[in-house]
Structure 1
Amino acid sequence: MNGLVRVIVVFVFSCASVLAWSEDLKQVITDWEIANFTLEGDEQKRAFDTLLERAETLRSAPTATAKSFLWAGIIESSYAGEIGGLNALGHAKQAKQDFESALKAGDPEVTPAALASLGTLHSKVPGWPIGFGNDKKARKFFEEAEQAGADNLDFYMLYAEYALGKGDKEKALSLLQASEQVAPRSDRLITDAARIAERATYYERLN
């Protein structure tokens, strides 16, 4: 990979079941899950090209909601994670704007996800002068997400990864143990299976 190392984590976040969401948005989520977890190479790139167009539609719609901005950001950050390098920074910056817009919308169902997503971005993106990454902000966003009620596998794995990266094994262990109490989501089985596989690797890093 040329340029910067791959710095954006591929992630998806939803603090509640997507079953009650609009059909259009549910389709976007399904297509994202397929692209992110099951496709590779040119096929994956083509799928993300389409998803990026849909992200623009989500954020620019007059009826855009917190959920719309959240998923536009997820698409942008996921694509940044796939391509890496300097080209990833533009997508990371767009994701940051989208997550901030999701927060401003004030939907309590989305707030924990937007906070944790911002925490992940700040922990993964390089700091100044290359990018906007900021470790203090990352920690603050993760803590606020926890206080706001984030309690699914996405949150626990993202926060545990961050804690492990900072050498805070005690916090990482508590997050991993909390994640054991969370049942996989019936409408997000692909994503949650990936998170469970990640959990096994994080437990190994504790030893």
Structure 2
Amino acid sequence: MTTYIPSLTLPDIVFKHPAAAILLPVVAGTAIGYSTRPKETQQTYLALRQPPLRPPPQVFGPVWTALYGAMGYAAYRAYTTGLHSVDGRKLALAQHGATLYTIQLALNLIWMPLFFRMKRPIEATVDIVALTGVVGYLTYIWGQVDEVAGWTLVPYLGWLGFATYLSAGTGYLNNWNFEGKEKLQGDGADTKFVNEKSQ
């Protein structure tokens, strides 16, 4: 069983107010997406050898926005249900889940910089495997507090399974090294990504 650790948990206000709970992951995810330069991220994505079933890059933004909103709603619902429950076990599970939720959000937000900015596919894959495990456990924990909250996390968990496959598959197909996927043009001010399908 996990433990409620206040120092590793987002403030109560984030969980108690639906707008704050939903907007925090959406805004944080969007900020990370834009900080990793979307155009370059798409170019890198298209340049890498990838396993079958990779979606087009335009799919990720809408999917992640929906999943961030759903995880925020699940957080609000599970936490407030636990706080208002007369069952002490549900309160403890809601609080334990809040710590897990905070940890999973941090793991989620560092994946993109690891994979695209730092070009560290091994570390990114370890991160997403850990993230999937934490979200699986969180789904179980919060599902005991509020069934709707648990089910609301299921699409996120399913997408993470698929994303883990893409992360590990892309790392493997590129020999766990993304550094050779760029070629500098001219004075080096512009970066051209190599599309390996054309080679």
TM-score range, shorter chain: 0.3 to 0.5
TM-score (norm 1): 0.32
Relative to its length, the structure with more helix (as a share) is: 2
Larger relative contact order, structure 1 or 2 (CA cutoff 8 Å, min sep 6): 2
Relative to its length, the structure with more strand (as a share) is: 2
Structure number with bigger Rg: 2
TM-score (norm 2): 0.33
